Amino acid sequence: MAALLPFCLFLGLSLFSFATLYDDVSQLPDTAYDFIVVGGGTAGNVVANRLTENPNFSVLVLEAGPSNIDVLPSIVPFLGSSLPGSPYDWNYSTIAQPALQDRVIRYPRGHILGGSSALNYMVYSRGSKDDWNGYAEMTGDIGWSWDNVQPYFRKNERWSLPTDHRDISGQYNPLVHSLDGINSVTLPGFPQSIDELFIKTTQELCHEFPFNLDINAGTPIGFGWGQSTIDGNGQRSSSATSYLGPQFIDRTNLHVLVHAQVSRLIQSESNPGIFDAVEFIQGDTTDLHVVTARNEIILSAGSIGTPHILLNSGIGDQQALTDIGVSPLVHLPEVGLNLSDQATIAMYWEVNSTDTFDNITRDPALAQEILDEWLSDRQGRFVTSVLGNVLGWFRLPHNNPLLHGREDPSPGPHSPHYEILPLNGLAPLPLPAEGHFMSLVCALLSPLSRGSVKLSSNDPFAAPLIDPGFLSNPLDLAMMREGIKVMKRIVSAPVWDQYLINLHGPAAILADASDAEIEEYVQEWATTIFHPLGTASMSPRGADYGVVDPDLLVKGIPRLRVVDGSVLPRPQSANPQAAVYVVAERGADLIKAAWV
Ligand SMILES: Cc1cc2nc3c(=O)[nH]c(=O)nc-3n(C[C@H](O)[C@H](O)[C@H](O)COP(=O)(O)OP(=O)(O)OC[C@H]3O[C@@H](n4cnc5c(N)ncnc54)[C@H](O)[C@@H]3O)c2cc1C
Ligand SMILES: *[C@@H]1O[C@H](CO)[C@@H](O)[C@H](O)[C@H]1NC(C)=O
Ligand SMILES: *[C@@H]1O[C@H](CO)[C@@H](O)[C@H](O)[C@H]1NC(C)=O
Ligand SMILES: *[C@@H]1O[C@H](CO)[C@@H](O)[C@H](O)[C@H]1NC(C)=O
Ligand SMILES: *[C@@H]1O[C@H](CO)[C@@H](O)[C@H](O)[C@H]1NC(C)=O
Ligand SMILES: *[C@@H]1O[C@H](CO)[C@@H](O)[C@H](O)[C@H]1NC(C)=O
């Protein structure tokens, strides 16, 4: 699918006419702002938008990547899968993962205004009640409970009708959605032939694989119609297109500087307890620039960028900083630790159909035809992502002995252990010249393994060492093995008999494999679903662990907050962008309340 990128990058389309971002530091009108937001990503743009609702607050956003405007693969949903490995990706890699046969895993993160929301697969999932009630319990702040975050889901979500204007009754629950938020969410706007096979599976195997009317109502178990951050016009909705949209970007109290990579925060000379300045490079030079914040600095650089900047600033484990040659200023040992991520494992089948996206992958002329349809009518296959339209969320069955006698790794009984993502074609394996395929990807949602982000050197512009610790906890490997069996049970429904011809490629061995052989397949092929969290975890006020308090202020450092995915102290049993939006909406409210 990466092959789709070149032909569309050269169209030079102008889809948006607003562009009042600064792309040269010399144009920036001020050097002091009330608030400086580091990272114009998913969370950062929400904070910038909400704070500048108050005309008395001036806000500067510093974003390392370029503007999102006219970046076609970030606009056309189907082309999004070509963004990893492009200029809009930080192109990180993990360190060798011992439990994955020492493989190095590519680790994309958005390097563009909008951050990872401008590059992700757009799945919109809010997690379970248990996830949020668990966060409330872990932080001692009832404000993070499922009931109490509902207003923030609503401030974020702008429910839109899908592009094909079909009847969507029975495909979602309107009562749990919001029409007047900012970030668009919709149902699939183009049908795929496999959709009905999954719906039929919910009838044939309704006990283990029930239908769920709306997976975003707090109880996600089942197969349900996927909801995505796509607007009613078949375009990706990122935090940049929504929270920095045309009606907001011209606010005179909001300045956004792109191509601005932050190296570190600087301590105040007059008040060493405070970090009140931000150092960065901008554009093509390595000159260092400094801007100061009168009220607060908000770190929204994401689960990799935020701990990286904190460590570069001397905020972290004192000994580790000294060892790498950074002067330790504040001893906060858990900065960069507690990294959680969700591993995935895929299976592939050759199918008895020609109605898959494999033709599009093979044939640039066909891809161009479908793109033309998108450009002229905002219709056709490209209005949705590469993922299938129906997604599954399942628990390990009660009768499976794996969890007998031990604590459930999931946050509670409403929480799936597995997410099942179908693809109506072959991905990410290379496509053979002939044949049509289906892929199923299983993500382990509540891993026990934890990893870290650490400095590789005292050069603040060197990439950090990223270690998600994939499957380092043996239970995670066993859970992944059982996940393969979940996928096999799904396709054991009679409806698949005439559709699936045979298991394809390396997955062929799974037709008849022992537990040990399945685990070997997992170790050889598992990869990531790109959900790192937890590297600046929330913990209760006064706790001697964690990095931020439940109000997102860094422990022991007034006027410095972290507002992004890194504060979530445990993986969500979901794809986390909706949670990041909630963290940002509530974070912005907490900041406003502190500076009335
Ligand atoms: C390929 C991929 C697919 C995904 N698919 C989904 C999905 O389908 N559904 C879902 O819910 N989630 C998905 N996710 C995860 C989701 O997108 C992220 O969890 C979420 O967007 C993270 O938000 P954030 O604000 O924490 O960080 P980000 O959105 O990554 O924002 C961080 C921002 O800070 C900037 N930055 C970092 N360091 C610096 C620095 N030193 N100086 C200046 N700026 C800096 C970055 O360029 C970026 O813009 C996916 C992620 C990836 C990578
Ligand atoms: C902005 O400041 C003015 C003058 O101090 C004050 O009257 C007004 O209430 C403030 N506005 C907001 C939204 O806080
Ligand atoms: C990521 O890698 C691609 C391909 O090598 C390159 O074009 C791009 O510039 C890189 N991204 C960044 C942010 O350097
Ligand atoms: C895909 O190509 C095959 C021929 O290789 C053709 O029969 C089929 O109709 C095509 N499918 C689509 C969806 O275009
Ligand atoms: C393919 O599907 C058709 C019906 O659509 C069926 O008649 C045929 O037997 C199937 N072939 C295989 C190999 O399952
Ligand atoms: C982070 O991990 C450490 C070690 O595993 C643990 O003691 C600590 O409680 C974790 N912190 C948070 C905030 O979860």
Model confidence over 126-140: pLDDT tens digits? Answer: 999 999 999 999 999
Whole-angstrom distance, CA of residue 183 vs CA of residue 193: 29
Residue 593 class from Cβ within 10 Å (0-12 exposed, 13-18 middle, 19+ buried)? exposed
Q: Is the CB of 354 under 6 A from ligand 5?
A: no
Instruction: For residue 308, give the ligand nearest its CA.
Output: 1
Q: Does residue 9 surpass a pLDDT of 70?
A: no
Q: What is the per-residue pLDDT for 318?
A: 98
* Greater pLDDT, 13 or 466: 466
Which residue in this structure is represented by tokens 């109290």? Answer: 253
The distance between the two most distant Cα atoms of the chain, rounded to a whole number of Å, is: 75
**What's the distance, CA 305 to chain centroid?**
14
Mean pLDDT throughout 475-500?
98
Mean pLDDT throughout 411-431?
96
pLDDT band at 596 (very low <50, low <70, confident <90, very high): confident
pLDDT digits (tens, 9 = 90+) for 320-339: 999 999 999 999 999 999 99
**Helix, strand, coil % (nearest 5) of the chain?**
30, 20, 50
138 is in an annotated binding site: no
Q: Does residue 267 surpass a pLDDT of 50?
A: yes
What residue type is 497 in one-letter code? D
Mean pLDDT throughout 356-382?
97
**What's the distance, CA 534 to chain centroid?**
13
pLDDT band at 509 (very low <50, low <70, confident <90, very high): very high
Q: Does residue 216 surpass a pLDDT of 70?
A: yes
Q: Does residue 511 surpass a pLDDT of 70?
A: yes
* Greater pLDDT, 415 or 20: 415
Whole-angstrom distance, CA of residue 523 vs CA of residue 478: 11
**Using N-to-C axis directions, what is the helix angle for 577-594 and 42-51, rounded to 10°?**
30
First to last CA, the chain: 49
Ligand 4 neighbours (beta carbon < 6 A): 354-355, 359
**Three-state DSSP class for residue 428:** coil
Contact 319, 472 (CB under 8 A): no
If you measure from the C-alpha of residue 145 to the centroid of ligand 6, how many angstroms do you get, rounded to a whole number?
A: 21
**Three-state DSSP class for residue 579:** helix
pLDDT digits (tens, 9 = 90+) for 46-80: 999 999 999 999 999 999 999 999 999 999 999 99
Whole-angstrom distance, CA of residue 485 vs CA of residue 263: 46
pLDDT digits (tens, 9 = 90+) for 178-207: 999 999 999 999 999 999 999 999 999 999
Nearest to 366 by CA among 345, 378, 347, 380: 380
> Whose Cα sits closest to atom 12 in ligand 2?
54
Whole-angstrom distance, CA of residue 278 vs CA of residue 276: 7
Whole-angstrom distance, CA of residue 9 vs CA of residue 491: 38
If you measure from the C-alpha of residue 495 to the centroid of ligand 5, how many angstroms do you get, rounded to a whole number?
A: 12
Q: What is the per-residue pLDDT for 425?
A: 98
The region that residue 542 occupies, defined by phi over 0 for left and psi between -120 and 50 for alpha, beta otherwise, is: left
Q: How many CA atoms lie within 13 A of 84 on its CB side?
A: 16
Q: What is the per-residue pLDDT for 521?
A: 98
55 is in an annotated binding site: no
In this structure, the strands spanning 59-62 and 32-38 are parallel
pLDDT band at 342 (very low <50, low <70, confident <90, very high): very high
Which residue(s) pair with 502 in the sheet? Answer: 350
Question: How many Cβ atoms are within 10 Å of 315's Cβ, its own excluded?
Answer: 28
Q: Cβ contacts of residue 394 below 8 Å, gap of 6+?
A: 208, 209, 221, 222, 416, 417, 418, 420, 486
Measured from the CA of 352, which atom of ligand 5 is nearest?
1
Alpha-carbon radius of gyration of the chain = 23
Q: What is the per-residue pLDDT for 428?
A: 87
DSSP state of 84: T
Nearest to 265 by CA among 91, 37, 587, 90: 37
Candidates 52, 54, 56: which one to mutate for ligand 2, based on the most atoms within 8 Å of Cβ?
56
The region that residue 473 occupies, defined by phi over 0 for left and psi between -120 and 50 for alpha, beta otherwise, is: beta
pLDDT band at 503 (very low <50, low <70, confident <90, very high): very high
Mean pLDDT throughout 495-519?
98
Q: What is the per-residue pLDDT for 322?
A: 98
The region that residue 221 occupies, defined by phi over 0 for left and psi between -120 and 50 for alpha, beta otherwise, is: beta
123 is in an annotated binding site: yes
Whole-angstrom distance, CA of residue 410 vs CA of residue 267: 40
pLDDT digits (tens, 9 = 90+) for 120-174: 999 999 999 999 999 999 999 999 999 999 999 999 999 999 999 999 999 999 9
Q: Is the CB of 549 under 6 A from ligand 6?
A: no
Nearest to 383 by CA among 158, 80, 42, 6: 80
> Whose Cα sits closest to atom 6 in ligand 5?
498
Q: Does residue 2 surpass a pLDDT of 80?
A: no
Q: Which helix (H) or strand (E) holds 500?
A: strand 500-503
Write down the mean pLDDT value for the chain: 96
> Whose Cα sits closest to atom 10 in ligand 5?
498
Q: Percentage of the chain with pLDDT > 70?
A: 97
Q: Cβ contacts of residue 399 below 8 Å, gap of 6+?
A: none
Q: Does residue 15 surpass a pLDDT of 60?
A: no
Helices (H), 381-514: 474-490
Q: What is the per-residue pLDDT for 513?
A: 98
Whole-angstrom distance, CA of residue 152 vs CA of residue 144: 10
Whole-angstrom distance, CA of residue 22 vs CA of residue 25: 7
Q: Is the CB of 498 under 6 A from ligand 5?
A: yes
Residue 43 class from Cβ within 10 Å (0-12 exposed, 13-18 middle, 19+ buried)? buried
If you measure from the C-alpha of residue 436 to the centroid of ligand 4, how many angstroms do you get, rounded to a whole number?
A: 9
Q: Does residue 13 surpass a pLDDT of 60?
A: no
Contact 591, 49 (CB under 8 A): no
If you measure from the C-alpha of residue 592 to the centroid of ligand 2, how many angstroms do you get, rounded to a whole number?
A: 13
Confidence (pTM): 0.97
Q: What is the per-residue pLDDT for 249?
A: 93
Q: Does residue 281 surpass a pLDDT of 90?
A: yes
Q: Does residue 280 surpass a pLDDT of 50?
A: yes
pLDDT band at 572 (very low <50, low <70, confident <90, very high): very high
Q: How many CA atoms lie within 13 A of 379 on its CB side?
A: 6
**Phi, psi of 409, deg, nearest 5:** -70, -20
Contact 122, 77 (CB under 8 A): yes
Q: Does residue 561 surpass a pLDDT of 80?
A: yes
Q: What is the per-residue pLDDT for 6?
A: 38
What residue type is 52 in one-letter code? T
